[in-house]
Amino acid sequence: MSTIAIIKTGGKQYKVKEGQELKVEKLPESKTRKVKLDTLLIADSDSGEIKEMGAPSLGDKVSAEILETAKDKKVTVVKYKNKTRYKRTIGHRQMYSKIKIEKIG
């Protein structure tokens, strides 16, 4: 019987399980490289039964380890206006943190 949780970080929500690795927006690193994430919901993944639900959150219920912090792939943005000789190309690389979920609850 495994447990799933919905966490909130970087203005986004993620559905996670123990042992899962995922990329989230850059987190501030500490010396221990451990982080506790804000939890919205904890449920049983087999039956779908909700164990705990926060309003607005449960607090720090999910612990994770920061594996690495790096830059993501480049996203190219092109601006173009017809008949005015205007073309502008901009690139952006977003910083991210790769985390591994260690414990839920």
> What confidence tens digit (pLDDT) does each residue in 50-103 have?
887 878 778 778 899 999 999 999 999 999 999 999 999 999 999 999 999 999
Range of the domain at 10: 3-67+97-104
From the CB of residue 67, how many other CB atoms can be counted at a distance below 10 Å? 13
Q: What is the pTM of this model?
A: 0.80
Structural domain contains residue 90: no
- The count of structural domains within the chain is 1
Structural domain contains residue 62: yes
Structural domain contains residue 43: yes
State the Cα–Cα distance between residues 19 and 55, nearest whole angstrom.
26
Structural domain contains residue 60: yes
Structural domain contains residue 89: no
Q: How far is CA 48 from the centre of its chain?
A: 22
Structural domain contains residue 74: no
Structural domain contains residue 11: yes
> What confidence tens digit (pLDDT) does each residue in 3-51 have?
888 888 988 999 999 999 999 999 988 778 999 888 888 877 777 778 8
* pLDDT tier at 1, thresholds 50, 70, 90: low
